[in-house]
Amino acid sequence: MTKMEYVRLGKTGMKVSRICLGAMSYGSSKWLPWVKDEEESLELIKMAYDAGINFIDTANVYSNGLSERVVGKAIKKFNLPRNRIVIATKVHFPVHEDDISIQPHGLPLDDPRLVNNGGLSRKAILQSVDDSLRRLDLDYIDLLYIHRFDEETPMEETMEALHDVVKSGKVRYLGASYMNAWRFVQMNAIAEMNGWTKFVAMQNLYNLVYREEEREMIPYLAYKGIGQVPYSPLERGKLARPLDQDTLRSSADSNKPWSRSLTDADKEIIQRIQKVAEQRGVPMAQVSIAWLLSKPTVASPIVGISKESHLKDAVAAVSLKLTEEEIKFLEEPYVTKPTISK
Catalytic residue ranges: 62
- Contact present, 82 and 137 (Cβ < 8 Å): no
Residue 29 CB partners (closer than 8 Å, separation 6+): 35, 36, 37
Distance of alpha carbon 116 from alpha carbon 104, whole angstroms:
15
Q: What is the largest CA-CA distance in the chain?
A: 56
Q: Which of 222, 227, 200 is nearest to 301 (CA)?
A: 227
Distance of alpha carbon 33 from alpha carbon 161, whole angstroms:
35
> What does residue 334 show for φ and ψ, rounded to 5 degrees?
-60, 135
Q: Which of 173, 178, 165 is nearest to 205 (CA)?
A: 178
Q: Is 176 helix (H, G, I), strand (E, B) or coil?
A: strand
Report the relative pairing of strands 55-57 and 36-37 from DSSP bridges. Answer: unpaired
Give how far the C-alpha of residue 81 lies from the chain's centroid of Cα atoms, to the nearest Å. Answer: 22
Amino acid at 278: E
